[in-house]
Amino acid sequence: MNEYREIGSVCIALHLRRAARHVGRIYDEALRPAGINNGQFSLMAMLAAKDDWTMQELADSLGLDQSSLSAAVKPLMRRDLIVQEAGTDDARVRRLRLTPAGRRLLDRARPLWRTAQRRAEELLEDHQPDAVRSALRALG
Amino acid sequence: MNEYREIGSVCIALHLRRAARHVGRIYDEALRPAGINNGQFSLMAMLAAKDDWTMQELADSLGLDQSSLSAAVKPLMRRDLIVQEAGTDDARVRRLRLTPAGRRLLDRARPLWRTAQRRAEELLEDHQPDAVRSALRALG
DNA sequence: ACGATGATTATTGATATCAATATATCTCGG
DNA sequence: CCGAGATATATTGATATCAATAATCATCGT
């Protein structure tokens, strides 16, 4: 018997990344008319939910490496959807904000997100979406 | 009330990608002594489990875009861990095989994978790993 | 005030990922 | 056999992701 047949069926990293790729494509496709992808939508939705994030706080909330966030904000800043402003008290920190244009784009994107969200929940019909979210929170 | 607070707590794409990033880092760290990352381990384990994959078959099994696999095999070929050979009957298909060096590296990596796998299962202790895998299969 | 240590963000170099497109090859009707 | 459409893989250009490192700035002890 082949020792490696098992791995494809039990490896948590493989299952997670495969699912993340597929679901990410669902959201990306739904969001395409708004001109952003699912990662950019998540980032901007965080900014809309709570102002005054530092880079590190936001990176932690997204489960991202600090340097990955540093790269991810660049395309959004180039399009003037978000801005980074220097902290007043501590000159090292950078605070992120949505611009008015970013907020408008996000509002246009929200119904598209909801469509994708519905489709993803349908895939989880027989698997208790809340239990799955809870498990994913434990992993992330 | 802010319409966007909800999104961070219910978005399936965000939960999945956050978990996938974190878990991926666990496996990457464990596999580092072998010189491969979790995606490369998955790819090579598939080749060890069953020979004679075409590119498209393997891409489907990994839930990857065909063009992503095309890019992913390059670093492994450069290191002579896998080879691509032209199909005999159909000149379009390329078949992938582990080289002996690839097989040796994979055998060295397997106990490292098992360590990471144990750590990931521990995170899922209270969440029935088999149920989670089943849900992830439904998503991917 | 100085210097060491720590904290925050950015940069670099590598791989990963996709959509769109290109290229090569096959198949099948005529 | 030829050409049209289909299929398999590769390339391109953009963003995503990390580890390692660099660059700034803060803090604290002396």
Residue A48 banded pLDDT, cuts 50, 70, 90: very high
At A104-128, the pLDDT tens digits run: 999 999 999 999 999 999 999 999 9
Interface test with B, best of A2, A10, A11, A14 (most B CBs within 10 A): A14
Sign of CA dihedral A12, A18, A23, A28: positive
Read off the pLDDT of each residue in A45-69 and give the average, rounded to a whole number: 95
Residue A1, pLDDT > 80, answer: no
Return the CATH class of domain A11-139: mainly alpha
Assign domain B11-118 to its CATH architecture.
Orthogonal Bundle (1.10)
Percent of chain B at pLDDT exceeding 70: 99
Chain B hits for A11, Cβ within 8 Å: 42, 45, 113, 117
Going by their DSSP bridges, the two strands B53-54 and A82-86 should be labelled as unpaired
A56 C-beta less than 7 Å away from strand C:
yes
Nucleotide nearest to B37 (CA to C1'): C15
Nucleotides of D under 7 A from a protein CB: 7-21, 24-27
Interface test with B, best of A5, A7, A104 (most B CBs within 10 A): A7
Residue A86, pLDDT > 90, answer: no
pLDDT of residue B1: 67
Residue B107, pLDDT > 80, answer: yes
pLDDT of residue A32: 96
Q: How high does pLDDT run on average in chain A?
A: 95
At B122-137, the pLDDT tens digits run: 999 999 999 999 999 9
A66 C-beta less than 7 Å away from strand C:
yes
Q: CA–CA separation, A8 vs B44, rounded Å? A: 10
Read off the pLDDT of each residue in A12-33 and give the average, rounded to a whole number: 97
